[in-house]
Amino acid sequence: MTALLPLVEIVTGSFWIGLVVFLRVGAMMMAMPALGEQMIPARFKLFIALMMTTVVTPAVAPHLDLPEPTLNVFLYAIATETIAGLFMGMMLRMFVMAIQVAGAMAAQSTSLSQILGSAGMDPLPAIGQILFMATLALLMTTGFHVKAAMFIMLSYEILPALEFPNPADVAEAGAMRVSKTVSLAFTLAAPFVILSVLYNLTLGVINKAMPQLMVAFVGAPVITFGAMAMLLVAAPLMLTVWFEAFEAFLVAPFR
């Protein structure tokens, strides 16, 4: 029995470290894009969180200085790690919100906001739904699960374990991320906004020249076809710009 004590201590210590890491990973998985979508069953998300914890724990364990496991420390770990995980996950989720907002802006600008509006879990315009599903496919085909594991490891340098984030830093980082999200969304939707401006200016000129012509009936098919053609041409460029911004954030968050 005495010879087994070191083994028991090692197993207990590894389990304690893994549990603390799982608290952050599980919270981050709730908000993370692609791996934490509503369409994914909860049991599958739990399995992903456990596998991600298994990958991340050996990498971060040497850098974690955890106190002895007690009930008070465990409750404190639940509070700190959950907050840290949700915050980091929401920072990634902002990029998905950017593509969704861009799709909504493009749809509103081109009068396509009601076509296939409830095709997904969240009610989105047709363009927004197409771009949203395209970004999820792009993430998973480029090895996002590996990048997510690296991002979780990096999160311990930004938000150390068992420490509450500084509210001032969280507020500043959140405001900066929201600002960049809106800027990215408008940048992505710019081709459709420009198309809408040109379309409305053209209709105004035609209506001024020929008041008796029902320009709305003539222009509706034009803007619909133009929006679909613009989506065909601009979607690859939009996804490229979005993916580069997302990759830059994964490598150097909050810079």
Encode pLDDT of 226-241 as tens digits.
Answer: 888 888 899 999 999 9
Average pLDDT, integer, range 70-78: 90
User: Percentage of the chain surpassing pLDDT 70?
Assistant: 88
Rounded distance, CA 125 to CA 170, Å?
32
**Cβ–Cβ contacts within 10 Å for residue 140, how many?**
12
Residue 123 is predicted with a pLDDT of 58
Sequential DSSP letters for the chain:
-GGGHHHHHHHHHHHHHHHHHHHHHHHHHHH-TTTT-TTS-HHHHHHHHHHHHHHHHHHHGGG--PPP--HHHHHHHHHHHHHHHHHHHHHHHHHHHHHHHHHHHHHHHTT-TTTTTTSSSS---HHHHHHHHHHHHHHHHTTHHHHHHHHHHHHHHHS-TT-PPPHHHHHHHHHHHHHHHHHHHHHHHHHHHHHHHHHHHHHHHHHHH-TTS-HHHHHHHHHHHHHHHHHHHHHHHHHHHHHHHHHHHHHSTT-
Q: pLDDT band at 84, cuts 50/70/90? A: very high
- pLDDT of 119 over the 70 cut: no
Average pLDDT, integer, range 179-208: 87
More confident residue, 113 or 152: 152
The structure's pTM equals 0.85
Residue 222 is predicted with a pLDDT of 78
Residue 25 is predicted with a pLDDT of 95
Residue 112 is predicted with a pLDDT of 67
Q: pLDDT band at 169, cuts 50/70/90? A: confident
Q: pLDDT band at 195, cuts 50/70/90? A: confident
Residue 121 is predicted with a pLDDT of 46
